[in-house]
Structure 1
Amino acid sequence: MPRTLVLGGARSGKSGRAEALVGDESSVRYVATGRRDAGDTDWADRIDRHRDRRPAHWTTVEIAHHRDLATALRTGGVTLVDDLGTWLAGAFDDLQAWDAPRGAVTAAVDELVAAVASRSDTLVMVTPEVGLSVVPESRAGRVFRDEIGALNARLADLCDRVELVVAGRTLVLPEPDHGRSPR
């Protein structure tokens, strides 16, 4: 499948599933969106665990600014992006948008969606599904939840395959039925 979106909650197994989808490819470009923070050893350990389980022959591209992801996606070849939630959080940081009016990250999201739409070769993207729990207490949490949900929906429309990983189990989501009304 040229474009695959793998959704799931925290620690659901979504990254492992995405890695398995490209695992037999001889040349994989792994685009890591999680930025290191010298003061956060737990986050650094998590990044290191992801890095250590990847095959040594994969190439890693680390995203330092939100614009770097769209740029990286304009290069062809088998590509795995992990993950869009950390990318979006980075975009909020870069644009100082956590307290800005809604829509402050729209241009960044549009640029990413356009880059994904231009792809015709293998692209696997990992993203969190965050809209299944309680409404976040903070405004920033609500805005992030809404933005990642909208981004996921836009990308799912572009993808050839969408999978949801829950408790280590994968469910392939069906194509949308745009002609039927909801019950």
Structure 2
Amino acid sequence: MRTLVIGGARSGKSRAAEALLADTAGVTYVATAYPADHDPEWTTRVVAHRARRPATWSTVETLDLAALLTEDGGPLLVDCLTLWLTRVIDRHGGWDDDTWAETAEDAVHDEVDALVAAVAVTPRDVVLVTNEVGQGVVPATASGRRFRDEMGVLNLRAADACGDVLWCIAGRTVRL
């Protein structure tokens, strides 16, 4: 099983992804966000996410998704590709226009290529969560527009590598 669960902010995508694997033991929940200790609101969200997970699930906090996907093991639930891409761009200094053009663009694309290739061949069941970022207001900054575009490309490529795509809207799930 390779499933991409996509939706806007607060659309129910994490809950939908969790429901796909709720009765499965040995799931590894892969958290891609920054640690929550710097932001009380974020800490509250992380605590709520953790409380919903079955006790039989483990959690790994990493950006090295390609390595996890190529290992043998139980199912993976990756939440989420949007935060993963944000952190990858951060790691390569890709928010600055000059850095993007000089070094970050190729480095970010290499990591996206590795991730998509790993999704396509993983021996594990995997559920990927991602945000739909292309249906809102056009971002006012060049870096915001670049992120929207890069996220759109990652979502397209991840969907192509998955056998199933679920779209979450207002807590409802539509199979595409």
Fold shared, TM-score > 0.5 on shorter chain: yes
After TM superposition, the structure 1 stretch with the greater mean CA deviation from structure 2, 23-32 or 2-11, is 23-32
Amino acid at match of 2:142: R
How far 1:31 moved relative to its partner?
0.5
Given the alignment, which residue of 87, 91, 104 partners 1:90?
87
- 1:100-158 CA deviation, whole Å, 9 max, x = no partner? 22734101101111111121331100000010011011112111110110001011111
Matches within 5 A, 1:32-181: 32-63=31-62, 66=63, 68-76=64-72, 77-99=74-96, 100-101=100-101, 103-104=105-106, 105-173=108-176
SS in 2 for 1:143: helix
Contact 1:34/1:47, CA 8 A, preserved across alignment: no
Contact 2:69/2:123, CA 8 A, preserved across alignment: no
Give the aligned length. 169
In the aligned structure 2, how far is the partner of 1:43 from the partner of 1:71? 27
SS in 2 for 1:27: coil
How far 1:10 moved relative to its partner?
0.2
In the aligned structure 1, how far is the partner of 2:45 from the partner of 2:70? 27
Unaligned runs of 5+ in 1: 174-183
Contact 2:30/2:61, CA 8 A, preserved across alignment: yes
Contact 2:4/2:127, CA 8 A, preserved across alignment: yes
Higher helix share: 2
Unaligned runs of 5+ in 2: none
TM-score by length of 1: 0.88
CA RMSD after TM alignment: 1.3
- Of all paired residues, the percent bearing the same amino acid is 51
Contact 1:8/1:166, CA 8 A, preserved across alignment: yes
In the aligned structure 1, how far is the partner of 2:87 from the partner of 2:122? 23
TM-score by length of 2: 0.91
After TM superposition, the structure 1 stretch with the greater mean CA deviation from structure 2, 4-13 or 33-42, is 33-42
SS in 1 for 2:38: coil
